[in-house]
Each structure stands twice: as structure tokens, then as C-alpha cells.
């Protein structure tokens, strides 16, 4: 739990620190884009090939703890585990989609600024 020392009742730091890590938004987005109500762990891992099994497990557990994902384990051999988005996660999707649209609209300018910063940094050193 991360709490703001000046504003301990403000949920922004606590919520965003877990939701805006490297993988959480991508996992929520991917679960939504799967086009089905549930998705199995291995299928999700194949859809995000650069995430490790451990990191996907940790991310899904965090999302489950925060109420974005439901996890269902079926008592089979081997066990089958399926994930679904909760209503909370579904209510977040319009905001994620807006952020994606913004990123697409600004990507070229941002990349240009990054290249310019690298060149400027090399000129200083």
C-alpha cells in the first residue's frame, strides 16, 4: 500500500501505482480485445509474447486483488484457469481507449522529441 504522506486519503497514488505499472493496462486491454468472455492463462501469455510467465502471474494476481479481474480455477488435470474482466475493469476501458488514442495521435511528435533530446545530450557531452 502506497500512501501519500501529505494527503493519506487521496487514492490516486495508491491506485495508479498498481494500475499503471508496465503490464496492468496492457493485460486489461488484451483481456478485452480477446473477443470472448473468458481467456485462459496460456492464451493470454501467447497474446503478450514479451511478458514472462512470472510477471503475467504477478500482474494477474494484482489485478484480481484490486477487483479488475476474476480468476476461475477448474478442478481438472492439468488445472484450467480462466480470467474475465470485472465490471470495474469494463468501466475503465473507455479511459484506456482514450489514452491509446491520445498515444497514437502524439506518438510521432513524442518520438521526434526523444530523438532531439538524445542528439542534444550527445552534443553536451
CA 18 – CA 3 distance, rounded (Å): 12
The CA-CA-CA angle for residues 88, 94, 96, to 5°, reads 90
What integer pLDDT is reported at residue 118 of this predicted model?
A: 92
Q: 0.85 exceeded by the pTM?
A: no
pLDDT along the chain (125 residues), means of 10: 62 82 94 88 93 96 96 90 95 95 96 94 81
CA 24 – CA 41 distance, rounded (Å): 15
Q: Parse the chain into domains and list their residue ranges.
A: 12-124
Using CA atoms of 31, 34, 39, 42 in order, give the dihedral in degrees to the nearest 10: -90
Give me the architecture of the 12-124 domain, per CATH.
Orthogonal Bundle (1.10)
What integer pLDDT is reported at residue 6 of this predicted model?
A: 64
Alpha helices (H) along the chain:
12-19, 24-33, 41-47, 53-65, 87-124
At 81, list the grid cell: 484457469
The answer to whether the beta carbons of residues 13 and 60 sit under 8 Å apart is no
Give Dmax (Cα) for the chain. Answer: 62
CA 12 – CA 4 distance, rounded (Å): 9
Amino acid at each position: 500500500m502506497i500512501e501519500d504522506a501529505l494527503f493519506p486519503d487521496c487514492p490516486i497514488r495508491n491506485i495508479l501505482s498498481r494500475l499503471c505499472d508496465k503490464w496492468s493496462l496492457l493485460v486489461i486491454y488484451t483481456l478485452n480485445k480477446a473477443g470472448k468472455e473468458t481467456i485462459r492463462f496460456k492464451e493470454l501469455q501467447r497474446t503478450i509474447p514479451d511478458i514472462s510467465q512470472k510477471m503475467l502471474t504477478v500482474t494477474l494476481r494484482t489485478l484480481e486483488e484490486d477487483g479488475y479481474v476474476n480468476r476461475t480455477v477448474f478442478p481438472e488435470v492439468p488445472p484450467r484457469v480462466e480470467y474475465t474482466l470485472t465490471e470495474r475493469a469494463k468501466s475503465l476501458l473507455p479511459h484506456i481507449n482514450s489514452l491509446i488514442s491520445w498515444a497514437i495521435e502524439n506518438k510521432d511528435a513524442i518520438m521526434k522529441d526523444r530523438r532531439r533530446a538524445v542528439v542534444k545530450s550527445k552534443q553536451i557531452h
